[in-house]
A and B are shown apart, each in its own frame.
Chain A
Amino acid sequence: MAFTFAAFCYMLSLVLCAALIFFAIWHIIAFDELRTDFKSPIDQSNPVHALVLPEYSIHSLFCIMFLCAQEWLTLGLNVPLLFYHFWRYFHCPADSSELAYDPPAVMNADTLSYCQKEAWCKLAFYLLSFFYYLYCMIYTLVSS
C-alpha cells in the first residue's frame, strides 16, 4: 500500500471527473431549455461556451496525467474522446474562438439534436469513467 503517482492521478481525475459530469449535465439542461424555448441562444450559448474550453482542457489534462503515470489502458480509453475534442475544436464554425455552438445555427433541428446527443453521451462516458477511476484508484492503492 503506497501512495504512487498513479494513485494520485486517479484521485485527482476522480475529483475532476465529477466536475466534468457537472458540465455535461449543465449542457444537457442548457440544450433542453433551448429546445423548450426558455432561453435565447444568445443568452445561453455564452455560458456553454465558457464551459467548453475548461472541459476540453480538463480532459486533456487527464490524458497527459495518465500518459505520465503510464496507465496505458486508461489512456487508451480516453484517447478517442481526446481526438474528438480536438476535431471539434478545430472544426468549429467560422474562424473564431467561439466554440462548437454557433448561436444562429444551434437552433437547427439537426444541430440541436446532435448537441443534445453529444451531451448525453459525454455524461454517460464521464459517469462510467468516474467509477472506473474510483476502482482504479482503490486498486492501485491496495495493490502496490
Chain B
Amino acid sequence: MSAPAGLPPRPSAGAAVYAGGPAEAAAPQAGALRRHNGPVRSPMQFPAGYGLHPPNYSVPSGHYSQVPNKAVSPHLDNQYRASYHSTYYSAPAQNVMTPPVGTNMLNTQESQQLYNKTSPQTAESTEGLIRGAVSSASYLHTSAQQSYSAFGNHYSTSVSSSVASQGFPLNSDHYTMPVVSSAMYPVSYPSAASDSVYGQAYISQSLPGVGQFKQTSAFSSQSTAVPHSLQQHVPVGYNSTLPAISSAQSVQDSLSRNLSGLLAKTNNQINTGGIDSLQPAQSVSQKAQYTKPGVGTSVSSAAVSSGRTPTPGLSPEPRSTPSVTQSPESALQKGMQYGGYVNNQASSAPAPLSSSSDDEEEDEEDEEAAIDSSSTTSSASPVLNNYDALEGGGYPETRSVTSSPVPAPSVPQTSKTSKPFGYGYPALQPGYQNATSPDPVQPSNSGHHPGLQHYPQQYTGVNQLSSSLGGLSLQHSQQPEGLRPVNLTQDRNILPVSSVPAPVPNLNSDLRKLNCSPDSFRCTLTNIPQTQALLNKAKLPLGLLLHPFRDLTQLPVITSSTIVRCRSCRTYINPFVSFIDQRRWKCNLCYRVNDVPEEFMYNPLTRSYGEPHKRPEVQNSTVEFIASSDYMLRPPQPAVYLFVLDVSHNAVEAGYLTIVCQSLLENLDKLPGDSRTRIGFITFDSTVQFYNLQEGLSQPQMLIVSDIDDIFLPTPDSLLVNLHESKELIKDLLSALPNMFTNTRETYSALGPALQAAFKLMSPTGGRISVFQTQLPSLGAGLLHSREDPNQRSSTKVVQHLGPATDFYKKLALDCSGQQTAVDLFLLSSQYSDLASLACMSKYSAGCIYYYPSFHHSHNPAQAEKFQKDLKRYLTRKIGFEAVMRIRCTKGLSIHTFHGNFFVRSTDLLSLANVNPDAGFAVQMSIEESLTDTSLVCFQTALLYTSSKGERRIRVHTLCLPVVNSLADVYAGADVQAVVCLLANMAVDRSVSSSLADARDALVNAVVDSLAAYMSTASNLQQSMLVAPNSLRLFPLYVLALLKQKAFRTGTSTRLDDRVYAMCQMKSQPLVHLMKMIHPNLYRIDKLIDESAIHVNDKVVPQPPLQKLSAEKLTREGAFLMDCGSVFYIWIGKNCDNNFIKDVLGYPNYASVPLKMTQLPEADALSSERTRSFISWLKDSRPLSPVLQVIKDENPAKTDFFQHLIEDRTEAAFSYYEFLLHIQQQICK
C-alpha cells in the first residue's frame, strides 16, 4: 500500500520504480503495483473515472487492487504516478527546482481533461465515490504540482504530531481552545504547534492544570477582546531557538528556566528563553504519552532518530540532502523550494494521518504510517537532517545534555488549525478542526537563510530571562513585557545576550503560526493603532520592512490554473481570509465576499474535496504561484546579461578586469538562466568597444565606436549572443580581455555613452546591465566633475552634494526601467567618483550598488578578495526579471512612501526591472480611515516576476497584525529594529531633500518625542528619570548608533562617496543586514567555549554573548571580534593570551602580529577551530562576504574600530550616557 500512496516514505525505492515517467512505461509498473497490493478483486466496481484516484484515498487497502484492473485506469493511474514521481523527484535536482516544464504542462492538461471527464459521473455516484472521483481527478491534476503534493506530505506529518491529541475530545468550538492554550503557553509549545489547537491535550498534561486552565481560559477570552500583551512569543519556530539553547546548558540554567517557565505560564507572560528550553522537552514526552501507541510514538521516534542520524543514503532525496549539509549556500539556491518540500514530504511520510473524517482511510493510513515509520526510522526525515545540519540540533552530545533539541525534528511537522480568523466552520465536522498545516515550516525557514544568523535573533537570551524574572511582579498585573518600564539611565545592560528578537504580534496562536516570517516582512508596530490620531500620539513611524525575494529554503509553489483572488481588490487568497461557508470566502483586505472556485474546493494535499481552507494558499502566508499567461504583458523574457566594463588606464591599473573575467569564467555555467540566456560585453574608455560574439566566428570581434556624442550599435543583432551557442567565443573573450588593454594610455572614461549604448542594446528584451566603473566619468553625456572638497569632510556644519549633479543617470535609469532593464553599479574607485550621481542609475532601475573604496588588486588584497566573493554571489544568486511588486493593505491603511531601489509606478505598485534576493524595501504607511470596525489588519505583498527559467511567478507574503486602541498597547508592540531601520530610510531622504543636519535633528527628535509621549502616558513614573518601555529600550542606543554611522555622522572625517554609499545601503538593505551596519555586534573571542554552542554542518559554532559597544568592555587580556556587516574587526589586546595568538593567529606573540592581517590561518588547535567556525558562520549569514581585519593598538585602522564603539564619547559626538541625558533634557523642556 505504501508505494502507490503517492507519497512513498522511501522515494528512493519509489523513484526507481516510477521515475520512468512516460505513460508508455506505465503498464508494467501497474503490474508491479498490483503485486504489491495483494489480491486482485473484481475490477468493475468503479466507473472508469474513479479508477484514477490515488489508490489509498478513501478506499481500504484492498480496494486499490481493483483499480488497476480497469482497462483504462492502470494506464492513467500509472501515468500519473510515473510523471508524478518523475517530476517530483527530479525537481530537487534542478537548479532552481523548476520542474521540467514539459511534464508539468502535460500533466496539467491531462488532469484537466480527466477532471472534466469524471465530474459528471460524480453526480450519479454515491457519496464516497464522488469524493474518490473528484479527488482523484483533481489529484491527478495536481500531480503535476510537486509542491502541492510535497506539501501534502508535510501536512500529514503535521498531523502526526497532533496524533497525540486525538485521544482527547475534539470539540468544534475549538476556537476557544487555541486561545486558551495560547494564553497559557503563549510562547512555546511551538514545537507542538499543532497542539495549540488541541489545547486540551496540553492542559491535561501540564497538569497542575485544570483549575489553572479555567482561569486562563477566562482570561483568554478577555485577552481576545483586549489584545494586551506581548507575550514574547516566538512563532517563528522554536526551532530556531534550539541552536542557542540546545547546546550544552548547565543544569542550573535549565532549572531556573523551568521555574521561570512555570511562572511565566501562570502569568500569561511568557518569556521565550525560559520556556523554550523547558517546553520542548515536555512536549516530546507528552507526545509520546498521548499518541496512539502504534503510530504516534513511532512517528516521533522516527522523527527524532532521523534527526539524530543523518543517513543520506536512505533519504528519499539523496541528491539534495548532501548538498544541503555540505554547502548550505548552494543548497539555498538549489534546493530552496523543491528540495525543501521533497524532504519535508519524506519526513512527513511516516505519519500521513489525515484529519479528514474518513475513518477507514485514517486507519489505513495509520497502518501505513506505522509501517513506514518503523521501516524508515532512520531515513524518515531528510529535511530534518537538514535542519539538524543547519541548526546543529542533530548532535547526539547536545541532545544528551539538554533534552530540548529532541523535539526539534518534530517542529516542522507540527500542525494547527487552519482557521484564520479564529472561528470554526459552522458546518464542518470536528475532523475539520483537526486541520493540519505545515506552519512552522514557513517561519522556520526564515532562519535557514544563508547561515542561520537569525536564529538567535528571534530569541531572547538567558539575560533577558533574568530581566523578565525581575519583572514578574509587573507581569502579575498583566502588563505586557514590552511595556515594562526600563530606566535607561540606570539600567546599563540593555543589550540582549544574542541578537535582538523580532517582537511577536499579539494574535491568537493559530494566526501567529500562520503569520509571515519576520525576516521577510516586518512592521514597525506589531500592534497597529486604531486611528491616525493615536499613531500621531505615539510618535513612532508606522511602516513595513520587506525582504520579499529572500532566499527561502522552503516555499510552497502552487501551480493552478486559477489563482484565487478577491474580485474587487485583487488580493490573493491567504491564511487570514475567512470562509463564510464552504463556497464563499471573505476578503480580509476589502471585506468583499467572493466565491470559492470549483477547482479550489479540491485539496491536493489531503486529496479530499470540499476543504478549501486546507489548501496550501490558505495554510501558508508565504507562497509562490506559477502564473498563467494572464500575468504576462509579453512572453517571459530570457535572462539577458550585459557587462559594461571600464578599461581606461585607471581601471587597468586597479586590475579589476582580471577578477571579473575570472569570476565570470568560473561561474558562466552557474549564471541563472535557461537555454535562451544571452550575454554581451561592452568596454569603454574614451571610446566604446563592442564585441561581436556571433556563433560561427573564429574569434571574438572587437568593434570600436568612437562617435560618443551620437552612439550607435555597430551590429545590433550579434552583440548579445546566446550563452550556450557562443560559449567558446565568450570564454575566449573573457580570457583575452584582461590582457587586451594592459598598455592603454586612455585616461578618459565615457561612461554615459557606454550606458546609452547598453540601453539601446538591452531595450528589446530587458535584462541586467552590470556596470564596472573605476573613476569619475569624464567624457560625453553624463560627465561629472569633482564636487567634493576634502577640507569639508569633517565639517560639522553642512554636508553638500548628497544629491545628484545631473539628471542624466536618473533619466537613463527611468528609460531602462521602462524597458525592464536594471543597471547594477560596481564602483571600484580610489578617488572621489560622485557616487551620489552615479548611484541614480541603479536607484531608479531597481539595480544594486557595490562600492569598493581604494580597490587595488595587489595593494589591497582584502578588498580584492571581497570583490571576488561578492561577484560570485552576484553572478550566481537568483534573479527575477520584469518584476512588479504590489503592496496591499486592509482598507483604511494607505501607503505613504516607498524606500529602496525601484521605480514607483503607482501608489501601491513598484516597478522592479530586476529583483534580487538581497534587496530590501521599506514602506511608510498612514492610517487614512479609522480602523475601529476591525480587530486585525493585513498587509500583502505580491511580487510578480519572471524567473531565470522563463516562468512567470508570483510570490505572495501576507502579514496579519492586531489593531489596538490604547497608546500603551502601541508601545508594547513596537519593533525597535524596524522602527530604527525605517527612520534611517526616512533620514536618508531628509538629508538629500533638506540637509544632513535636519535629518540628524529629526532622528533625535524621534527618540525624544516617542519617549516623552510614553512617559506622559505612564503617569506613575517619576519625571526625573528617563524611562522607556522595554520594547523601545534599545531605541536611544540605536539612534545614537545611527547618528554615528557613516551616513549621518558629522565632525568625523568621512569621504563623500563613503557617506553616500552608506545611505544607498540604508535604502536597499534588508533589515537584518542593515541592523549590523547600524549597530555592530561585538563578541569576545579569546575564550570561546562550547557552552551554548550550536552545530552547523558538522561544525561546532560557539555563541559568545554580545558585548556592549564600549571600550570598557575591551580588556587588554582579551581578543574581540566586531561584526559590522561588511567588515569584521578582530581587536587583539596587548596582554592577550599568547596561546590564543599562537593558535588562532599563527604568530608567537603579540608583537609579531603584522599590521595588515586579513586572514586567520588554519591551525589545528581547538581555539582556532572554534574561532574560524564562528567567523565563517557569521560570514555565511550574509550575502556579501565581509573583509576581516586584525587590529592591534599600533594599527592605523584602529580608529575605524574604535569609531564603531558607539557607546563611547568621541570628539564630535555624545557618549551613550550623555545622549540619554540630552534626551532627558529635551523631554523636560
Interface string of A91-133 (1 = CB under 8 A from B): 0001110100001100111101000000000000000000000
Q: Is the CB of B904 within 8 A of A37?
A: no
Determine the chain A residues whose CB is within 8 A of the CB of B1114 once the complex forms.
none
Cβ of A42 < 8 Å from any Cβ of B?
yes
Q: How far is the CA of A40 from the CA of B895 in the complex (A)?
A: 17
Q: Quick one: given A94-B803, A94-B804, are A108 and B897 in contact (CB under 8 Å)?
A: yes
Cα A122 to Cα B629 in complex, Å, equals 44
Is the Cβ of B807 less than 8 Å from the Cβ of A98? Answer: yes
User: Which of the residues B818, B911, B926 comes within 8 Å of A109, measured between beta carbons?
Assistant: B926
Contact B897 A109 (CB under 8 A): yes
Q: When chains A and B are docked, how far (Å) is the Cα of A40 from the Cα of B894?
A: 19
Chain A positions within 8 Å of B909 at CB level: 37
- On whether the beta carbons of B897 and A104 are closer than 8 Å, the reply is no
Residues of chain B from 804 to 848 with CB closer than 8 A to chain A in the complex: 804-807, 810-811, 814, 817-818, 843-844
Min Cβ gap B59→A in Å is: 51
Interface status of B905 (Cβ within 8 A of chain A): yes
Hey, which chain B residues are within 8 Å of A42, CB to CB?
Answer: 814, 817-818, 903
**Shortest Cβ distance from A38 into B: residue:** B906
Distance to closest chain B CB from A107 (angstroms): 4
Chain B residues whose CB sits within 8 angstroms of the CB of A37 once the complex forms? 905-909
Residues A109 and B896 in contact, CB atoms below 8 Å apart: yes
- Closest-CB distance, B759 to chain A (whole angstroms): 14
| Residues of A bordering B, CB below 8 Å | 34-35, 37, 40-42, 94-96, 98, 103-104, 107-110, 112
Across the interface, which residues of A come within 8 angstroms of B807, CB to CB?
94-96, 98
What is the distance, in angstroms, from B891's C-beta to the closest C-beta of chain A? 16
Residue contact B906 to A110, C-beta cutoff 8 Å = no
Residues of B within 8 A of A112 (CB): 907
Given A37-B909, A40-B911, 19 other A-B residues pairs in contact with their CB atoms under 8 A: A37-B905, A41-B904, A94-B803, A94-B806, A95-B805, A103-B814, A103-B903, A104-B903, A104-B904, A107-B904, A108-B896, A108-B897, A109-B895, A109-B896, A109-B897, A109-B907, A109-B926, A110-B896, A112-B907
- Shortest beta-carbon distance from A109 to chain B in Å: 4
On chain B, the residues within 8 Å of A95 by CB distance are: 805-807
Q: Nearest 3 CB-CB pairs, A to B? A: A107-B904, A37-B906, A96-B807
Rounded to whole angstroms, the CA-CA distance of A103 and B911 in the bound complex is 12
One digit per residue, 1 when the CB lies within 8 angstroms of any chain A CB and 0 when it does not, for chain B 899-915 equals 00001111111010000
Please, how many residues of chain B have a CB less than 8 angstroms from a CB on the other chain? 26
Q: Are B907 and A107 within 8 A (Cβ)?
A: yes
Residues of chain A within 8 A (CB-CB) of B803 are: 94
Which residue from chain A places its CB closest to the CB of B805 in the assembled complex?
Answer: A95
Q: How far, in whole Å, are A74 and B775 apart by their CA atoms in the complex?
A: 56
CB of A94 within 8 A of CB of B810, answer yes
Which of A98, A104, A108 has the most B CB atoms < 10 Å from its CB? A104
* Across-interface contacts of A107 in B (CB, < 8 A): 898, 904-907
Q: Contact flags (1/0) for B903-945 with A, using CB distance below 8 Å?
A: 1111111010000000000000010000000000000000000
Contact assessment for A109 and B894 in the assembled complex, using a CB-CB cutoff below 8 Å: yes
Determine the residue in chain B with the shortest Cβ distance to A34: B906
Known: A35-B907, A95-B805, A98-B807. A104 touches B896 (CB 8 A): no
A56 to B775, CA, bound (A): 40
Q: How far is the CB of A92 from chain B (nearest CB, A)?
A: 10
- Evaluate contact between A40 and B906: CB separation under 8 angstroms: yes
Nearest-neighbor residue (CB-CB) of A98 within chain B: B807
Residue numbers in A under 8 Å from B844 (CB-CB): 104
A-B contact pairs, 15 of them (CB 8 A): A34-B907, A37-B909, A40-B906, A40-B911, A41-B905, A42-B817, A95-B805, A96-B807, A98-B807, A104-B844, A107-B905, A107-B907, A109-B897, A109-B926, A110-B896
B785 CB to nearest A CB, Å: 13
Establish whether residues B806 and A104, one from each chain, have CB atoms under 8 Å apart when the complex forms. Answer: no
A42 to B812, CA, bound (A): 12
Alpha-carbon distance A95/B807, docked complex (angstroms) = 7
Q: Which residues of B contact A103 (CB under 8 A)?
A: 814, 903
Docked complex Cα distance between A76 and B712 (Å): 53
> A-facing mask of B395-438, CB < 8 A → 1, else 0?
00000000000000000000000000000000000000000000
Chain B residues contacting A110 (CB-CB under 8 Å) are 896-897
CA distance A35 to B894 in the complex (A): 12
Residue numbers in B under 8 Å from A109 (CB-CB): 894-897, 907, 926
Query: Which residues of A are found within 8 Å of B907, using beta-carbon distances?
Result: 34-35, 37, 107, 109, 112
Distance (whole angstroms) from the CB of A140 to the closest CB of chain B: 46
A49 to B671, CA, bound (A): 41
Separation in Å of the B566 CB from the closest CB of chain A?
16
Bound complex: CA A98 to CA B909 (Å): 23
Please report the C-alpha to C-alpha distance between residue A42 and residue B906 in the assembled complex, in whole angstroms: 10
The chain B residue with its CB closest to the CB of A97 is B807
| Bound-state Cα–Cα, A107 to B494, Å | 40
Task: Please give the distance in Å from A21's CB to the nearest CB on chain B.
Answer: 27
Q: Smallest distance from the beta carbon of A68 to chain B beta carbons, Å?
A: 37
Shortest CB-to-CB span from A34 to chain B, Å, is 7
- Chain A proximity of B888: nearest CB distance (Å): 12
Contacts of A96 in B (CB 8 A): 806-807
Bound complex: CA A37 to CA B886 (Å): 11
Nearest residue in B to A96 (C-beta to C-beta)? B807
In the assembled complex, the CB of B37 is this many whole angstroms from the nearest CB of chain A, namely 56
CB proximity of B134 to chain A, nearest CB, Å: 39
CA distance A25 to B648 in the complex (A): 52
Alpha-carbon gap, A42 to B804, bound state (A) = 19
Kindly state the separation between the CA atoms of A40 and B904 in the bound complex, as whole angstroms: 8
